[in-house]
Amino acid sequence: MRPTLLLLIVVSLLIAAPLKASLEDVRHAQALLGPGTWSQLIRIDNDRPTTVHPKKTYGLVFEFNGILWFYSAGDGTQSLSLYTGRVNQDRANLLPLLQEINPGFGRFKVIDDELFVPAVNRTLPNGCFLESLAAARVRAARGETMEQAGILLYYAATGTRVAGHAVFAFKTPGGVFVDDSARTRSARIGEKWMDSPIELARSYEPDLKDRLVQARLVPVSASNPASGYAVAPAAVGTAASSVN
């Protein structure tokens, strides 16, 4: 299959606050994904340090929905692959992809780490995307009946900025629900599943209704959330900026 060019998806909050580099954060992020998802902890030497990406930046590279993604505490999760259908090549040649995120990323080292158990009630900085994936995995493990499911990304104008967020949206015989684990809340948002991501977002965030500028849904398999696929690999399209 011919690879498809992707536009980068950034799914971390644009309003992310400066954070210290933390290996603990990426360990926690990896534990949220669970053993069914391929992931790799890395330490990056950054030649152009910023408050978001310090001189020593810790990150988590993981596979989901047929591409690679990258999480760091400073700016959350964003798509790392530039093309679909070449995950193995991307795993073998990460540095050029990392430099698309920050040209100062000069070198990186894989961290071989023992199994890490996250602290109870610990909040992952800029971690809404990963928290949503974890919510999907936990609900599937419980055997909950989910007819449709996906990570809902939405972006709202707040003054001169656009802020983003990610939640797990799913449909059961009892209705359509949102699990917003990053904010420790959940809600029933209706009876019928809406094919329009922005309408799903409006149903969950009615107070933001007039300020929502974009939304998209990354499909999640109800039976195997780690794979990311609903029925077939979803095309990754345009996204605004980061969501956390």
Tell me if 27 sits within 8 A of 39, measured CB to CB.
Answer: no
Residue 241 belongs to some domain of the structure:
no
- Evaluate if residue 99 carries a pLDDT over 60: yes
pLDDT digits (tens, 9 = 90+) for 189-244: 999 999 899 999 999 999 988 899 999 998 887 666 655 543 333 333 323 345 56
Q: How many CB atoms lie within 10 A of CB 4?
A: 15
Higher pLDDT, 191 or 19: 191
Q: How many CB atoms lie within 10 A of CB 172?
A: 16
Domain shared by 107 and 193, yes or no: no
Cα-Cα-Cα-Cα dihedral sign, residues 72, 53, 160, 82: negative
Higher pLDDT, 7 or 232: 7
In the chain, % of residues over pLDDT 70 = 78
Residue 44 belongs to some domain of the structure:
yes
- Evaluate if residue 132 carries a pLDDT over 70: yes
Residue 156 belongs to some domain of the structure:
yes
Count up the domains in the chain and report the number. Answer: 2
Residue 182 belongs to some domain of the structure:
yes
Residue 213 belongs to some domain of the structure:
yes
Domain shared by 14 and 107, yes or no: yes
- Evaluate if residue 62 carries a pLDDT over 80: yes
Domain shared by 106 and 135, yes or no: no
Domain housing 40: 10-111
Query: CA 197, CA 184: separation in Å to the nearest integer?
Result: 21
Tell me if 175 sits within 8 A of 191, measured CB to CB.
Answer: yes
Average pLDDT estimate for 132-136: 92
Any idea which of 1-5, 68-72, 78-82, 86-90 has the lowest mean pLDDT? 1-5
Residue 234 belongs to some domain of the structure:
no
Query: CA 161, CA 168: separation in Å to the nearest integer?
Result: 24
